[in-house]
A and B are shown apart, each in its own frame.
Chain A
Amino acid sequence: MDATIEVRGLRKRYGPTLAVDALSFTARPGQVTGFVGPNGAGKSTTLRMIMGLDRPDAGSALVGGRPYRSLRTPLCRLGAMLDASAVHPARRARDHLRWLAHAGGLPRRRVEEVIELTGLASAAGRRAGGFSLGMRQRLGIAAALLGDPPALMFDEPVNGLDPEGITWIRGLLRSLAAEGRAVLVSSHLMSELEGGADRLVVIGRGRLIADTSVADLLEAASGGRVELRTAERQEAMTVLARAGATVTAAGPGAVTVAGLPAERIIALLTGEGVAFSGVSEHRASLEEAYMELTRDAVEFRAVAGREAP
């Protein structure tokens, strides 16, 4: 069964706001695809269009090559958690899963299996209204897994979770992908996806900013920069700038140098008699790489805004 989630030229307008514009990307089987963008970037809207809840103004979203609403057993093709708080507070957790299982034509034993899988066994008989956020997330994930689908989507699954819950969800996402499923997971914080995603689809204001592997993105963001630790910051910056490097202060006693290899920096500083305590290759975090990407998008938007007020 083809598990690919494919979005092609998606556009959605809500009144004057263009929520999603010309968006294309693919979430492939066996990978965790991180879907990242600031709040209001159009992530949830995109996921809703993939599920056939909202109708796109243009473009298409396909699950295993077919529009979601044409699937005969949708819960067995794509499982999704869009909003963990979307449960009736007066209904017991097990009953919430039961009606979903009935709607999907799934056997009752699947309900017990996903309860076990998500560690909800002791809480399944309680009304969902009394659930903590973490338990609601687990219930939402249990619902997504009901049909044992080859493709899965989670909207902000770690939002508001404690560290233990975050670790659990990361491990779960990884193991679902390792089983060959396509896993699309959205977040407004790149750091939440660090070590969890294979590919990243970054959007801002409804448009695609980057569609890349995590490794490529980190390499590009690190960009051969060197971190230098020195007590004589002013002198070091002058010397290196004269040699043609771009030098930026990175906190007290530290500068980031771009445009010069580490060996050349050491030679220059030693020659000029500037003391330093450390030189290391700069290793960008995912968060930094993301800031770099979205900073470009912000500048682009500012220019575009001036042209068309």
Chain B
Amino acid sequence: MSALHAEWTKLRTLPSTWWLLAALAGITAAAGAAVTGAVDTSACPDPAACREDTAKLALSGVQIGQVAAVVLGVLAVGGEYATGTIAATLAAVPRRGAVLAAKAAVVAAAVAAAGSAGVLASLAAGRGILPGNGFTAANGHPPLSLLDGATARAAAGTVLYLVLVALLSLGAGTAVREPAAAITAVLALLWIVPVLTRLAGDPRWQERLERLAPMTAGLAVQATRDLDRLPIGPWAGMGVLAGYAAAALAAGWILLAARDA
């Protein structure tokens, strides 16, 4: 409990934490609004024939906003190695597993709060923008609403996605210790598969890669229509991402426990 209190105080007393959380919510909402505003029904032969997944479209800003979650997760521990405070942390709480668990809890809570704000703002922006672009109830696109089961799942899943990305980053930061290296590694892991799939000509390989990659699998949870055409189911995809996060945290925990501080 004292480790949790200490980690919360540590996170709370750095200005960068608040900037990153604001960036996470703000960039998610702003990028989502920008993408949503750029899509309309004019490309479809008939507005009613547009199969656009509007909830997914409105939430797409998270692909950019997640960078703030990566940086926050890595810095929660990497910042301690960079400044040397890790020695004081481990001297005060010699049970190293408790330190990592406490960091995971406070990072998850902070990202969940900021992520929720970003997701709600994205949906509100989508609700305002979409009808003007032809996505009206009359054309088969009812206003985005959390009362709709699939949209609620996409919204909650997006928050969970951000939390898992932050935890993956925390694990990577603990294992790698060098913040710049850890941030680069996590961003590469998240982005490299989307790039590779574009290069892979074979659609069967594309699908395989999308099932295995943390970002494409994790974001399957945002789909609200044509679920049968997804490479992986919404919650199965979230499970893949959770596996990455768990593996990174386990690697961080093992190294933290075994290594000299």
Contact = CB atoms under 8 A, between A and B. Distances in A.
Interface of A: 48, 51-55, 68-71, 74-75, 80, 82-83, 85-92, 95-96, 98-100, 102-105, 143
A89 B15 CA distance: 11
B195 interface: no
A154 B244 CA distance: 42
Given A51-B91, A53-B91, A74-B94, A99 B83 contact: no
Interface string B120-144: 0000000000000000000000000
**Range for the number of chain B residues in contact with chain A:** 20 to 34
Contacts of B79: 88
Interface stretch (B5-13, B182-190, B203-211, B217-225): B5-13
Contacts of B85: 86-88
Given A98-B9, A100-B6, 18 more contacts: A48-B260, A53-B260, A68-B94, A71-B94, A74-B91, A87-B85, A88-B14, A92-B13, A96-B13, A99-B7, A99-B13, A100-B92, A102-B5, A102-B6, A102-B9, A103-B2, A103-B89, A104-B2
Contact of A90 (B6, B15, B89, B93): B15
A124 B89 CA distance: 20
A249 to B, nearest CB: 48
B177 to A, nearest CB: 14
A55 B260 contact: yes
Contacts of B15: 90
A54 B87 CA distance: 10
Nearest to B2: A105
B64 interface: no
B84 interface: yes
Q: Is the interface of B mostly helix, strand, loop or mixed?
A: helix
A96 B9 CA distance: 9
A53 B2 contact: no
Contacts of A95: 9, 13
Contacts of B6: 99-100, 102-103
B90 interface: yes
Given A69-B94, A85-B84, A98 B2 contact: no
B145 interface: no
B91 A54 contact: no
Contacts of A92: 13
B152 interface: no
Nearest to B82: A88
A64 B99 CA distance: 24
Given A95-B13, A103-B2, A80 B260 contact: no
Interface in B72-125: 79, 83-85, 87-94
B84 to A, nearest CB: 3
A91 B87 CA distance: 16
Given A54-B260, A54-B261, A75-B92, A86 B87 contact: yes
Contacts of B10: 91, 99
B174 to A, nearest CB: 16
Given A53-B87, A88-B14, A48 B2 contact: no
A99 B9 contact: yes
Given A53-B260, A86-B85, A75 B9 contact: no
20 contacts: A48-B87, A53-B90, A53-B261, A54-B261, A68-B91, A69-B94, A74-B91, A75-B91, A83-B84, A86-B87, A88-B14, A88-B85, A90-B15, A91-B13, A95-B9, A98-B9, A99-B6, A102-B6, A103-B89, A104-B2
